[in-house]
Amino acid sequence: MTKVERFHYQRRMFAFPYGLIKLSEGKDIRSHEEWLKDEMYFTGQCLRGYVDKTGIYFYSTRHYKTRQGDWKKFQNYLCIMIVSMGLDLSGNLLVHEGVIPGKLGEHWEPRKTHGKLKDILPLVELL
């Protein structure tokens, strides 16, 4: 397994193509692009991201940035993601918006951190 495949394998992907929620099974060595093309015949850009032991990361551009309105869209999907992915709300899992590209196969730093999932959840319920 390559370094890039090991990174992909340790995280669980999610994406929102066509306004739908798509969650990977986990332990998948494919990129988002490969996964969405294989699973849904989707080849465009959409709000997407992953969950790993360091947090939840979301972005929507080819350069791993977000567009205006992505944070609100992401919040609309968050409760369903928490239940569907079985995320632990009692811990300190952080929510990150965008990542700063680095070396392939290495963990990339977030562009912005919104806070702990357990603290963000009450804000989602107000939407």
pLDDT of amino acid 127: 42
Which residue has 């959409």 as its token pair?
Answer: 46
- Tens digits of per-residue pLDDT, 42-63? 999 999 999 999 999 999 999 9
For the chain, the domain total comes to 1
pLDDT of amino acid 89: 74
Range of the domain at 66: 3-125
- Tens digits of per-residue pLDDT, 25-39? 999 999 999 999 999
